[in-house]
């Protein structure tokens, strides 16, 4: 098996990683395994939805009423037959 090297890197975009040190490997294909070192906060879905609804209310968002949704869906379904 080939030598294995460990380095810390920063993901610049979806395809580019900048390493914190030089790796003594010639140019060519390598296998890269990525494990995030950032702590990901896992909030309950209920809390996330509550925050979304608060922001919507703050900006005056009014969700459609049932009749509006039913009318929209019926118009959509009617267009399938055209």
Q: Does residue 11 belong to any structural domain of this protein?
A: no
* Assigned domain for 57 exists: yes
Residue 76 lies in a domain: yes
> Do the domain assignments include residue 27?
no
Answer yes or no: pTM beyond 0.75.
no
* pLDDT one-digit tens code per residue, 23-77: 988 888 888 888 888 887 788 999 999 999 999 999 999 999 999 999 999 999 9
pLDDT at 2: 65
Say which residue the tokens 């009423």 belong to.
65
Residue 1: its pLDDT value, please? 46
Q: Is 36 among the domain residues?
A: no
What's the total number of domains in the chain? 1
Residue 4 falls inside a structural domain? no
Q: Which domain holds residue 76?
A: 45-80
C-alpha 54/C-alpha 45 separation (Å) is 14
pLDDT of residue 82: 65
Give the span between the Cα atoms of 79 and 32, in whole angstroms.
Answer: 49
The SS3 assignment for 9 reads: strand
Phi/psi for 70 (5° steps) reads -60, -45
**Does any domain span residue 60?**
yes
């Amino acid at each position: 098996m080939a030598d294995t090297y460990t380095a810390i890197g920063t993901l610049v975009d979806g395809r580019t990683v900048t390493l914190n040190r030089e790796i003594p490997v010639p140019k060519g294909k390598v296998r890269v395994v990525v494990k995030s070192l950032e702590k990901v906060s896992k909030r309950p879905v209920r809390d996330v939805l509550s925050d979304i609804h608060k922001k919507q209310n703050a900006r005056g968002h009014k969700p459609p009423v049932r009749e509006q949704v039913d009318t929209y869906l019926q118009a959509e379904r009617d267009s399938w037959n055209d």
